């Protein structure tokens, strides 16, 4: 990810990408739109680039837009026939089948109740149909997905969620030096935390929410003294 970034506005044409697209394959991420041969931004924010040819706009947002392949945290809302309705912070509730859990059969249904928290992968996402989630991987194993029991859960902006999930993000490492903990960060801006004691959990949650307003570059700096936040 390049650190020098230009800010783009919705409707702005981005000639640099068009130029690049003439010679090689370009991947347009969220916030960018193609109209024939022109590339136009559809969100406001810094334009990000990743080699070899991926571009996206890292805009500030709190409303999650489901995308296939994302790992999200959701709250079970209700049972509906052979589906569970799950709130993932998107415009529409997502659905997850009874059978989309490890070792689930028609007889052996997972025991989920409204209010439960699950960590799931978005299987299907399209503007016109409700998103579909799964809690198993392609070989039917649970892996890291599933119900999250106990712990504490809070919400943040989508940016903070993404920030924590960057490869080599220093935040979680810095926190580990202070305390042992378990965490689940959804790209939908929801974070679940579990530490040994209640006090530690609260401290971690406060430390993470303290990062809300800081950018990528600042976070690296802050991480040096994250321990100070923990004391509060």
Partner 1 sequence: MPAKSKPRLSRGVLDMKFMQRTKDKVEKEADDEQSRALYSNEINQKMLNSTSNFMVESSYSICAGLIDGRLSFRGMNPELEILMEQELAEKQGRTRPEQPKEVSDQDMVKAYYANKAPTVSGSMSKKFNTKKDFKRKIGEDSENPHATRKQHFKKPRSDDD
Partner 2 sequence: MFMNSNLFEPGKSKPERSFVQLAVKQNQRFDGRRSNECRDVELTFGADWGTVAVSMGDTKVLTHVTCDMGAPATSRPNEGKLQLNVNLGGVAFLDEVQTTHDQRSLTLNSLLERTFRSSRSVDLESLCVAAEQHVWCIRVDVNVLNHDGNLYDASTIATLAALMHFRRPDVTFTDDELRIYTEKEREFIPLLFLHYPVSVTYCIYKSSGQPIVDPTLLEENAADSVIVLSFNSYQELCSLNAGGTAPTNVRTIMQCARNAATRCKSLVDFVRKALLLDEERRLQGGRLVNGLVALIGNTQHKLSFNKLMSCQKQEPQPAPTEKMELDNESSEKPEVEEIEVKEEPSKQETGDAPMDSSGWLPQDEDSQELSIPSDASTSKAGKGKQNRSKNKANKKPQQKKQTDHSDSEEEARQYI
Residues forming the site for partner 1 (CB under 8 A): 1, 21-22, 24-30, 34, 36, 39, 48, 50, 54, 56, 65, 67-71, 73, 119, 125, 143-145, 158, 161-162, 164-167, 172, 175-176, 179-187, 194-196
Answer yes or no whether residue 196 interacts with partner 2 by CB under 8 A: no
Query: Residue 45: left (phi > 0), alpha (psi -120 to 50), or beta?
Result: left
Given partner 2, partner 1, none, residue 75, with its beta carbon under 5 to 8 Å by kind, binds partner 2
69 within 8 A of 121, measured Cβ to Cβ: yes
Q: How many residues bind partner 2 (CB under 8 A)?
A: 27
Instruction: Please report whether residue 205 would count as binding partner 2 according to CB under 8 A.
Output: yes
Helix (H, G, I), strand (E, B) or coil at 149: coil
For residue 138, the tally of other CB atoms under 10 A from its CB is: 7
Of 23 and 113, which CB lies nearer to partner 2 in the complex structure? 113
Q: CB under 8 A: which stretch of 132-140, 161-169, 175-183, 192-200 binds partner 2? A: 192-200
Interface residue with partner 2 among 21, 44, 83, 87 (CB under 8 A) is 87
Task: Assess contact for 162 and 122: CB atoms under 8 A.
Answer: no
Work out what residue 109 binds among partner 2, partner 1, none; the CB cut-off runs from 5 to 8 Å by kind: none
Q: Is 222 a residue that touches partner 2 (CB under 8 A)?
A: no
| Residue 6 binding: pick among partner 1, partner 2, none (C-beta 5-8 Å cut-off by kind) | none
Dihedral of alpha carbons 59, 62, 65, 66, sign: positive
Does 152 participate in binding partner 2 (rule CB under 8 A)? yes
Beta 190-195 vs 181-186: how paired, if at all? antiparallel
Looking at the DSSP bridge assignments, the partners of residue 87 are: 75
Distance, in Å, from the CA atom of 197 to the CA atom of 207, rounded to the nearest integer, reads 15
Nearer to partner 1, 85 or 194 (CB): 194
159 binds partner 2 (CB under 8 A): no
Residue 186 CB: number of other CB atoms within 10 A? Answer: 24
Report if residue 69 touches partner 2, rule: CB under 8 A. no
Min CB(165)–partner 1 separation in Å: 4
Burial of 203 (0-12, 13-18, 19+ CB in 10 A): buried
Length of the chain as a residue count:
232
Chain-centre distance for alpha carbon 54: 18
Joined together, the tokens standing for residue 161 give 């969620």
Q: Which does 50 bind (CB under 5 to 8 A by kind): partner 2, partner 1, none?
A: partner 1
In the complex, the residues that contact partner 2 under the rule CB under 8 A are 62-63, 75, 87, 89, 113, 115-117, 148-155, 192, 198-199, 201-202, 205-206, 209, 212, 232
């Amino acid at each position: 990810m390049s650190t020098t970034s230009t800010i783009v506005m919705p409707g702005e044409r981005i000639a640099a990408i068009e130029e690049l697209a003439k010679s090689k394959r370009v991947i347009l991420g969220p916030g960018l739109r193609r109209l024939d041969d022109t590339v136009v931004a559809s969100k406001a924010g810094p334009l990000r680039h990743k080699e070899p040819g991926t571009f996206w706009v890292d805009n500030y947002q709190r409303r999650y837009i489901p995308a296939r392949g994302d790992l999200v945290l959701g709250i079970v809302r209700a049972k509906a026939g052979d589906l569970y309705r799950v709130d993932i912070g998107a415009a529409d509730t997502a659905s997850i089948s009874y059978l989309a859990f490890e070792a689930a059969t028609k007889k052996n249904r997972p025991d989920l109740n409204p209010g439960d928290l699950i960590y799931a992968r978005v299987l299907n996402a399209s503007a016109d149909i409700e998103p579909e989630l799964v809690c198993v991987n392609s070989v039917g194993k649970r892996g890291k997905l599933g119900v999250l029991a106990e712990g504490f859960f809070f919400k943040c902006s989508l940016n903070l969620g993404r920030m924590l999930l960057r490869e080599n993000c220093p935040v979680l490492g810095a926190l580990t030096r202070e305390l042992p903990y378990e965490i689940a960060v959804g790209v939908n801006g929801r974070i679940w935390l579990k530490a040994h004691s209640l006090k530690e959990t609260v401290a971690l949650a406060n430390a993470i929410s303290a990062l809300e307003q800081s950018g990528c570059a600042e976070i690296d700096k802050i991480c040096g003294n994250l321990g100070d936040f923990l004391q509060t």
